Structure 1
């Protein structure tokens, strides 16, 4: 994924993810919703940034991603897209923006591309294959999403692992193949047994990206606030690589303390 010396790192494209799968080289994806996190992740070499509808729960304070609107997605996608140049930018189609009709899916997909996304993600299998086909026909790359699908949290009776029994596992594999046949260029697999994700990864020729789906997927994704220890969420599938929540609290406490004791600001921070 490099370019000739002096030209800088290559822009990440879909072909790079496909090449990574074929070479057996795992790649990393993180959510991003603002310029600061996006730029840091670009500097860290994260190859794919997902502007997820999880922004509703991680930033906007909603209890479910179903509350995230299409306008929310446009706002945060634009913020990320304007801030970075190298990572591939994927944006979620919000709940209700693609289920009603193929035309609605394409219209909202076009909006996200105009906002700066380079690929859109939507949840579901064969039921949304017509939407996938229409988006791809319109020149919009698509990432699928199977297993636990957060927009369907109510019908799935909460955050539960999917595909545990043989029939359910077979169904997931069939749905993944249906997405691929419809033109999806990658598929997220969320909260499914590791052996099921490995099986799906082996049968698909497009990359799989796991979240709570074991180590065999071609790539991995986490919500960045979980990964960095800011959200306080410690699900089994999450590894926290920092403790930003504690660091930020200590910084805020130190700031408050210095303000209260007039230790800050000093002459150093003042103007004549």
Structure 2
């Protein structure tokens, strides 16, 4: 159960969260081959509130480095950044499982380091799981975390934290050797105990084969509709950016709406049409201040 209470009399946090049991890692795992899993990224309390009724999983992705902070990649993202945003998303949600990305450099060195940092994230945020990138090389670390009570979402294919090694963000699996590597990675992290596996930027036939090959649900992003679920960066699918990856479908045009609202506000301020009587405080006529 969500135990965090928001004082709705003084907070902008609306609507008031309805008490209900959050989805758990075993519940997500049980969705393999069943109803598709709906997942989106969230970085703030308010966005979490808006997305939570519609999602099974909210991912506090290290993509916040680019989306929120304007960084050139996810590489500079810190544990402190991930912790602050994940705590906000947990406060703003009460239904979806919240998973948080482990940033670059926080888990690759050793399983012990990964455990210390994963435990810190879960303690500080209230999130239910961590996500980390990498295939066979990370299988030992994933097994170490899972054996110690930390649910893990895996991530193979196009792994943004490895952009320097991969040489860019192109789709993966275009040749047989790379395809075989992705499938081997998927099997390895699933066998290590992941309860879900993100397949990013891979050729569709590989995504389909990987989905058949692993016992945990696959969550596609630039993969295939035949995965067990889908995830997108919310700001991409809501149309907040002009440039988005090919695999993104824009379900809104919030950039235009925000621009139009800001333009209308600026125009009213410049001609002193805002604020009006409805938005100002005035003393009552019978009060001393009103004489």
Q: In 2, Cα distance between the equivalents of 1:158 and 1:165?
A: 16
SS in 2 for 1:39: helix
Tell me what 1:209 maps to.
Answer: 219
Q: Which stretches in structure 1 are left out of the alignment for 5+ residues?
A: 1-6
More moved, 166-175 vs 240-249: 166-175
| Partner residue of 2:119 out of 82, 105, 110 | 110
Q: Which stretches in structure 2 are left out of the alignment for 5+ residues?
A: 1-17, 283-291
1:183-238 CA deviation, whole Å, 9 max, x = no partner? 11111000001110000000111000000002111010000000100122332100
Tell me what 1:3 maps to.
Answer: none
Q: In 2, Cα distance between the equivalents of 1:66 and 1:53?
A: 9
| Partner residue of 2:27 out of 16, 36, 41 | 16
- The answer as to whether partners of 1:119 and 1:140 remain within 8 angstroms in 2 is yes
Tell me what 1:243 maps to.
Answer: 253
1:143-168 CA deviation, whole Å, 9 max, x = no partner? 11001100011111111111111221
The alignment of Structure 1 onto Structure 2 pairs a total of residues equal to: 264
1:29-66 CA deviation, whole Å, 9 max, x = no partner? 000000110000013x2110000000100001101000
The CA RMSD measured in Å over matched residues stands at: 1.3
- The answer as to whether partners of 1:28 and 1:219 remain within 8 angstroms in 2 is yes
| Partner residue of 1:99 out of 98, 108, 112 | 108
Per-residue deviation, 1:9? 5.4
SS in 2 for 1:135: helix
Tell me what 1:36 maps to.
Answer: 46
- The answer as to whether partners of 2:20 and 2:94 remain within 8 angstroms in 1 is no
Whether 2:120 is the aligned partner of 1:120: answer no
SS in 1 for 2:166: coil
Per-residue deviation, 1:85? 1.1
SS in 1 for 2:69: coil
| Partner residue of 1:76 out of 74, 79, 85 | 85
- The answer as to whether partners of 1:142 and 1:184 remain within 8 angstroms in 2 is yes
Q: TM-score, normalised by structure 1?
A: 0.94
Q: In 2, Cα distance between the equivalents of 1:134 and 1:55?
A: 27
Which structure's CA Rg is the greater one?
A: 2
Q: In 2, Cα distance between the equivalents of 1:81 and 1:118?
A: 9
Q: In 1, Cα distance between the equivalents of 2:79 and 2:20?
A: 32
Q: TM-score, normalised by structure 2?
A: 0.88
Q: In 2, Cα distance between the equivalents of 1:231 and 1:116?
A: 30
Q: In 1, Cα distance between the equivalents of 2:131 and 2:238?
A: 23
- The answer as to whether partners of 1:58 and 1:231 remain within 8 angstroms in 2 is no
- Structure 1 runs (4+) greater than 3 angstroms displaced: 7-10
Tell me what 2:273 maps to.
Answer: 263
| Partner residue of 2:197 out of 172, 181, 187 | 187
SS in 1 for 2:173: coil
| Partner residue of 2:174 out of 145, 158, 164 | 164
